[in-house]
Amino acid sequence: MRNILACILHWRRRYLSDTQFLLIISFAVGILTALVGLFLKWLIAAIEHFLTRGFVMTSDNWLYLVYPVVGILLTMLFIRYIVRDDISHGVTKILFAIARKQSKIRLHNTWSSVVASAITIGFGGSVGAEAPIVLTGSAIGSNLGRLFNLSNKQMMLLVGCGAAGAVAGIFKAPIAGLVFVIEVLMIDLTMTSLLPLLVSCVTAAGLTFAVSGTNPVFEFHLQDAFAVDRIPAYMLLGVVCGVVALYFTRMMNRLEGIFRRLQRPMYRFLLGAVMLSLLIYLFPPLYGEGYELISLLLNGNGEADWATAMNRSLFYGSEHLLLFYLSLIVFFKVFATTATNGGGGCGGIFAPSLFLGCVCGFVFSSLWNRYGLLGLSVPVRNFAMLGMCGLMSGVMHAPLTGIFLIAELTGGYGLFMPLMIVAVCSYLTIKAFEPHSIYAMRLAQRGELLTHHTDHAILTLMSMDSVIQHYDRVLYPDMTLGDVATQVSDSKNHVFPVVNRQMQFIGAVYLDDIRHLIFRTELYRDFQVAQLMKQPEAILTVNDPMDAVVAVFDRTGAWTLPVVDADGVFVGFIRKSTILTVYRQVLTDFSQD
10 within some domain? no
3 within some domain? no
Domain boundary among 449, 467, 499: 449
4 within some domain? no
- Domain of 520, CATH number, reads 3.10.580.10
Q: What 3-state class would DSSP assign to 561? A: strand
- Domain of 296, CATH number, reads 1.10.3080.10
pTM metric for this prediction? 0.76
Angstrom distance (rounded) from CA 72 to CA 54 = 22
Looking at the structure, tell me whether residues 321 and 439 fall in a common domain. yes
8 within some domain? no
116 within some domain? yes
Angstrom distance (rounded) from CA 226 to CA 240 = 20
Whether residue 114 contacts residue 132, with contact meaning beta carbons closer than 8 Å, is answered with yes
277 backbone dihedrals φ, ψ, rounded to 5°: -65, -40
- pLDDT tens, residue order, the chain (593 aa): 667 767 777 777 777 777 888 899 999 999 999 999 999 999 999 998 888 877 766 666 778 888 899 999 999 999 988 998 877 766 777 776 666 555 678 888 899 999 999 999 999 999 998 889 999 999 999 999 888 888 877 888 899 899 999 999 999 999 999 999 888 876 556 666 789 999 999 999 999 999 998 888 888 887 787 889 999 999 999 999 999 999 999 999 899 889 988 888 899 999 999 999 999 999 999 998 989 999 999 988 888 888 888 887 788 878 888 999 999 999 999 999 999 999 999 998 889 999 999 999 999 999 999 988 888 889 999 999 999 999 999 999 999 999 999 999 888 788 899 999 999 999 999 999 988 777 766 555 554 445 444 455 555 556 677 788 888 788 888 888 888 888 777 777 888 899 998 889 999 988 888 877 877 877 778 888 888 888 999 999 888 888 788 888 888 888 889 999 988 899 999 988 888 787 777 655 554 54
For residue 566, the enclosing domain spans: 456-591
Domain boundary among 420, 449, 478: 449
Q: How many structural domains comprise the chain?
A: 3
Looking at the structure, tell me whether residues 280 and 194 fall in a common domain. no
7 within some domain? no
Closest CA to 199 of 20, 37, 30: 30
Looking at the structure, tell me whether residues 301 and 417 fall in a common domain. yes
Looking at the structure, tell me whether residues 72 and 186 fall in a common domain. yes
Angstrom distance (rounded) from CA 335 to CA 252 = 7
Looking at the structure, tell me whether residues 156 and 277 fall in a common domain. no
